[in-house]
Amino acid sequence: MSNALGFEIVAEVKRLLLILIILGLVTPAVFRGSHTMAEAVTQPRAGLQADENDPNVSLLNAVWDRLVAVAAPSAPLAWPPELHLLTDAEMTMAKMVPKDPNAFATLYKGNPLVCVNRALLNSIVEGNASRLAFILGHELSHVTLGHIQHAPSGGTLLLMTVFTREKEIAADRNGIKLALAAGYDFREAMVGPKRFIELGLDQPPLWPATHPSWTQRLALLEKNRASLWNSMGAFSNGVLFLTVEQYASAERCFASVVKAFPDCYEAHANLGYARLMEYCDLLRPEDIAEFAIGHIMIGGFYRRPDSLIEKGRGINAELWKQATSALEEALRLRPDLTLAKATLGIAYLVRPEGKDVQRASRYLEEAATAAMKDNSLGTISRAGVLVNLSVAELAAGKAELSDRHLGQANRLAGNVAVIRAAILYNYAQELLQSDKGNQRRDASDALYKYLKIGSPASIWWKLGLDSYSKLCSEPGMNCETEQQIRAGATQEFRPFPPVEVRQGVQVQLGDSIEEVQKRLGPAVTIPIARDAKLNRYRYLKLGIDVIGTDQVMAISLNSRLAPALKLQAEGSGGQTRILKTGMTEMQVTQVLGPTSFAATVFNAATPYRFYPQVGIAARFVQGRVAEWLVVILPRREG
Ligand SMILES: [Zn+2]
């Protein structure tokens, strides 16, 4: 069994263990198979014997549900474990002192069981959910890390040495990760261990080899803190929102990460990126024409969300300033951060007072040099940085350099349409800028190819069309009309398919969260950003998560239990195709085609593959889809 909190002295552990064995609460290896004792005890369950209105009980249940929802079940054991609030009577019966704070994980009748007592809730937790989350996370980790089921058999005394120092530390480390993933606060959680020390409950160094003291454990947790930020649910959710181009939501997530972890340069960089993308989303084609720059290669810049209209289109200088200050903070913390430099380079191309090509070129040159050496960046990211460098150089009048970098980008771009489109657009600009008469036909050809593969939703598409039409009006040029260009586009699926959870029960983007809860029943709620109303509602048994504020913004299908996604082809009589988790890459390509958008432009660690035309993203693990995401995307223009 686990002396989870590690403060009891050995004699107490021994006594507790023996008493619990007698009571049948614990089934140690030596007694397995003998149910005589165990049956004498009532089935433990959180809150069953306690008053439902007791704030301690509701806190226990709420925190427990959120932790269980983010913990990985351990295969050979019943899941989730039982949670039991020890009564004073039970404690006294077990010859434990009820006023001593206590918590532990163990096997009960072969099933995992986590116990806590009231003294722990009253003197250590004191109503704080984050403190409790760390403590329960620690106990849950003993279960998921296989500590309780791998107890050595052969004698009760041996059981006491099960939870070695390494296991305690591993449970601490995993426990805080679970707490962060479930949306709890690191600083608040660490007050728990501090309370033990304050109350003089730190463990005497009786068994220093097996039980680290609270002082030691706290020091270790603080030391590892720097690497914990990526356990925060808000960070991974922020990356998700960046991937699916929900920049305002991403901004809220990263803002909450930098608040908790001010040293986390990745979060500063992503925060700056999210803000710059919001700024760019507000720009109008005439703003881009005013900047007199080529086609920049970034995230969803080519998409123009209608939802932003109410914020007022145009240049938002304050947003730009906030974006660059977050990016500068990231670079202050980590001066060699390639993607922060690349983003700052873009920022100076679209600076509110007008582009600053010198600064833009300097940042982009540094980013390009670093990107070429950085193997963690995909070729698409590298191509993107080179395209942007070439845009800055052309704007600075350095045509030769610009041409060379565009050529380099072209060799890396492969068949990825969004990059190829930007390259064609910029190539045409280069030709037009050279102002040689014989190159105007080549420019027109490049623009035609651009208009064919580029997205009409792009802010540059309209500029490209204008430019193309102007060329076409010149004598001797023979061009297609806009209608002809738009015709013959490949058939697409209707975007944002509803998710049919079971026969006749659907969840759709834009549904009210309240309605969804009525339809699907209660969910485990995991806040994504503490300050925002943004939550992840986890339906474990359905295999889906619903993400949103008051409306559904994304639906995640993330386990074998998840229903299939039905895609309906556009147009009447269109085919239906099925998407499931577990599909291979080849099966996915057969349905959605090869034009997928690998969203690794800013975060190489995120393996989502994005299909903007259907509003679906896929996360592959070992060549198979581990998760499908349906997400709200701006409607296409035109
Ligand atoms: Zn422990």
pLDDT digits (tens, 9 = 90+) for 95-105: 778 888 888 88
Q: Backbone phi, then psi, for 183, in 5-degree steps? A: 95, 15
State yes or no: pLDDT of 464 exceeds 90: yes
State yes or no: pLDDT of 606 exceeds 80: no
pLDDT for residue 158:
38
The alpha carbon of 158 and the centre of ligand 1 are apart by a number of angstroms equal to: 16
25 confidence band (pLDDT: 50, 70, 90): very low
Residue matched to tokens 């906030």: 322
How far apart are the two ends of the chain, measured CA to CA in Å? 65
Rounded-to-10 torsion of CA 583, 587, 588, 592: -150
Residues around ion ligand 1, judged by CB within 5 A, are 2, 4, 168, 171
pLDDT for residue 467:
92
The alpha carbon of 254 and the centre of ligand 1 are apart by a number of angstroms equal to: 32
Average pLDDT of the residues in 259-266: 88
- Measured in residues, the chain has a length of 638
In 10 A of CB 364, how many CB atoms?
Answer: 30
State yes or no: pLDDT of 534 exceeds 50: yes
Residues 294 and 435 in one domain: yes
* Range with top average pLDDT, 29-43, 152-166, 456-470: 456-470
334 confidence band (pLDDT: 50, 70, 90): very high
Minimum mean pLDDT range among 230-239, 455-464, 536-545, 623-632: 230-239
State yes or no: pLDDT of 349 exceeds 70: yes
The alpha carbon of 81 and the centre of ligand 1 are apart by a number of angstroms equal to: 15
Average pLDDT of the residues in 109-131: 92
pLDDT for residue 167:
83
In 10 A of CB 576, how many CB atoms?
Answer: 10
pLDDT for residue 169:
86
Q: Is residue 446 one of the residues assigned to a domain?
A: yes
What is the residue-averaged pLDDT of the chain? 78
Residues 69 and 217 in one domain: yes
State yes or no: pLDDT of 631 exceeds 50: yes
pLDDT for residue 276:
93
Per the structure, how many domains does the chain have? 3
pLDDT for residue 638:
23
Per the model's pLDDT, the better-predicted residue between 49 and 188 turns out to be 188
By the 10 Å C-beta count (0-12 exposed, 13-18 middle, 19+ buried), 165 is classed as middle
pLDDT for residue 163:
55
pLDDT for residue 574:
56
pLDDT for residue 608:
72
State yes or no: pLDDT of 18 exceeds 50: no
496 confidence band (pLDDT: 50, 70, 90): confident
- Give the domain CATH number at 376: 1.25.40.10
Residues 205 and 347 in one domain: no
The alpha carbon of 1 and the centre of ligand 1 are apart by a number of angstroms equal to: 9
The alpha carbon of 123 and the centre of ligand 1 are apart by a number of angstroms equal to: 19
The alpha carbon of 5 and the centre of ligand 1 are apart by a number of angstroms equal to: 5
pLDDT for residue 233:
76
What whole-number distance in Å separates Cα of residue 41 and Cα of residue 62? 26
Per the model's pLDDT, the better-predicted residue between 125 and 436 turns out to be 125
The alpha carbon of 139 and the centre of ligand 1 are apart by a number of angstroms equal to: 6
Q: Which residues contact 453 (CB under 8 A, 6 or more apart)?
A: 417, 420, 421, 424
pLDDT for residue 607:
62
Q: Is residue 534 one of the residues assigned to a domain?
A: yes
pLDDT for residue 311:
57
State yes or no: pLDDT of 510 exceeds 80: no
Per the model's pLDDT, the better-predicted residue between 579 and 483 turns out to be 579
Per the model's pLDDT, the better-predicted residue between 464 and 593 turns out to be 464
Q: Kindly provide the residue ranges of all beta strands, DSSP E only, lying in 306-345, ordered along the sequence.
A: none
605 confidence band (pLDDT: 50, 70, 90): low
Q: Is residue 422 one of the residues assigned to a domain?
A: yes
Minimum mean pLDDT range among 6-15, 116-125, 193-202, 319-328: 6-15
pLDDT for residue 335:
94
pLDDT for residue 271:
95
Residue 634: cis peptide before it, omega within 30 degrees of 0: no
Q: HSE-up of 315 (CA within 13 Å, CB side)?
A: 16
Residues 304 and 446 in one domain: yes
State yes or no: pLDDT of 180 exceeds 80: yes
The alpha carbon of 117 and the centre of ligand 1 are apart by a number of angstroms equal to: 15
The alpha carbon of 144 and the centre of ligand 1 are apart by a number of angstroms equal to: 12
Average pLDDT of the residues in 259-263: 87
* Antiparallel, parallel or unpaired: β 82-86 and 111-117: parallel
Residues 532 and 442 in one domain: no
The alpha carbon of 13 and the centre of ligand 1 are apart by a number of angstroms equal to: 12
Q: Is residue 240 one of the residues assigned to a domain?
A: no
Q: Is residue 3 one of the residues assigned to a domain?
A: no
State yes or no: pLDDT of 165 exceeds 60: yes
Could you read off the pLDDT of 210-229 as tens digits, one per residue? 567 788 888 888 887 767 77
Expressed as residue numbers, the domain containing 15 is 10-229
pLDDT for residue 298:
74
The alpha carbon of 305 and the centre of ligand 1 are apart by a number of angstroms equal to: 49
Give percent of the chain with pLDDT exceeding 90.
33
Average pLDDT of the residues in 462-474: 89
The alpha carbon of 138 and the centre of ligand 1 are apart by a number of angstroms equal to: 6
The alpha carbon of 306 and the centre of ligand 1 are apart by a number of angstroms equal to: 52
State yes or no: pLDDT of 14 exceeds 80: no
The pTM for the full model equals 0.68
278 confidence band (pLDDT: 50, 70, 90): confident
The alpha carbon of 171 and the centre of ligand 1 are apart by a number of angstroms equal to: 6
pLDDT for residue 570:
57
pLDDT for residue 575:
65
State yes or no: pLDDT of 78 exceeds 50: yes
Residues 450 and 514 in one domain: no
pLDDT for residue 416:
74
160 confidence band (pLDDT: 50, 70, 90): very low
Q: Is residue 253 one of the residues assigned to a domain?
A: no
pLDDT for residue 238:
80
Residues 222 and 106 in one domain: yes
Average pLDDT of the residues in 411-427: 87
Give percent of the chain with pLDDT exceeding 70.
77
Residues 188 and 101 in one domain: yes
Q: HSE-up of 209 (CA within 13 Å, CB side)?
A: 3
Helices (H), 35-149: 55-70, 88-93, 118-119, 129-144
317 confidence band (pLDDT: 50, 70, 90): very high
569 confidence band (pLDDT: 50, 70, 90): low
Q: Is residue 308 one of the residues assigned to a domain?
A: yes
- The last residue of one of the domains, among 430, 461, 486, is 486
Reading phi first (left if > 0) and then psi (alpha if -120 to 50, else beta), residue 436 is in beta
What whole-number distance in Å separates Cα of residue 192 and Cα of residue 181? 18
For the chain, the 3-state helix, strand and coil shares in percent, each to the nearest 5, are 50, 10, 40
Residues 176 and 306 in one domain: no
Reading phi first (left if > 0) and then psi (alpha if -120 to 50, else beta), residue 615 is in left
Per the model's pLDDT, the better-predicted residue between 201 and 124 turns out to be 124
Q: Which residues contact 185 (CB under 8 A, 6 or more apart)?
A: 130, 260, 530
Per the model's pLDDT, the better-predicted residue between 467 and 488 turns out to be 467
Minimum mean pLDDT range among 21-25, 28-32, 218-222, 309-313: 28-32
Residues 431 and 532 in one domain: no
Residues 460 and 419 in one domain: yes
Residues 473 and 578 in one domain: no
Average pLDDT of the residues in 161-182: 82
- The last residue of one of the domains, among 486, 511, 546, is 486
Q: Is residue 257 one of the residues assigned to a domain?
A: no
Q: Which helix (H) or strand (E) holds 377?
A: none
Per the model's pLDDT, the better-predicted residue between 457 and 294 turns out to be 294
